[in-house]
Amino acid sequence: MGKKLQISNAQRVEAVMALLTRSESASAIARRFKISEGSLYRLKDEFISAGKTAITNRSKGKSRQNSECDKLKQDSSER
């Protein structure tokens, strides 16, 4: 494993967003943040993976909440 990146979380997000929006080339973004292009693409992959996880967990949470609401409605209608 390589060195730990010496940029803040906010800078990581800024770099990835610049890459995703193609506001400048990957090499220019990497130079600006003083990281390698490989590190930049790794950050992008981690960012996308975290987004997928967040979306998946959110939809599971809503399903769980809907189930709980349905159960409470059923319980209250039985009274």
How many domains are contained in the chain? 1
Closest CA to 17 of 33, 1, 36, 34: 33
User: In the predicted model, what is the mean pLDDT of residues 40-48?
Assistant: 96
- Give the length of the chain: 79
Cβ atoms 33, 11 nearer than 8 A: yes
Q: Which of 73, 47, 52, 46 is nearest to 60 (CA)?
A: 52
Is 3 a domain residue?
no
5 phi and psi angles, rounded to 5 deg: -65, 135
Mean pLDDT of the chain: 85
> What predicted TM-score, i.e. pTM, was given to this entire model?
0.67
**pLDDT for position 54:** 87
Q: Which domain holds residue 31?
A: 9-77
Residue 13 lies in a domain: yes
